Amino acid sequence: MGTQISVEDAFPVYQKRCGELFDESLLLRAQVGALERQLTAAQEEIERLQQAAGEPTPVAGGPDLAAQPPYPEDER
């Protein structure tokens, strides 16, 4: 694998690939932006529907299990 390529031969390929990667990156960033906007809109709609239904907004992490009473012991 000791083959060498001249800069004159390699540079156009390098330049083309850099352009392709730049274009791909731009497309991916645009898709991310669109998906983030959709996610935000969906979360806002969920919150609006929960408020309209009178349901409390769920707290992240679930109930406080430390505040639950222990299981009763079996009486035998």
Q: How far is Cα 48 from Cα 55, in angstroms, rounded to an integer? A: 10
pLDDT, residue 67, reads: 76
pLDDT, residue 39, reads: 97
The count of domains in the chain is: 1
Q: How far is CA 24 from CA 5, 51, 61, in A?
A: 27, 41, 37
Query: Residue 76: is its pLDDT beyond 60?
Result: no
Residue 47 belongs to some domain of the structure: yes
pLDDT, residue 59, reads: 64
Query: For residue 61, is it left (φ>0), alpha (ψ between -120 and 50) or beta?
Result: left
Query: Residue 57: is its pLDDT beyond 80?
Result: no
Residue 2 belongs to some domain of the structure: no
Residue 23 belongs to some domain of the structure: yes
Residues in the chain, total: 76
Mean of pLDDT values over 37-63? 84
AA identity, residue 23: D
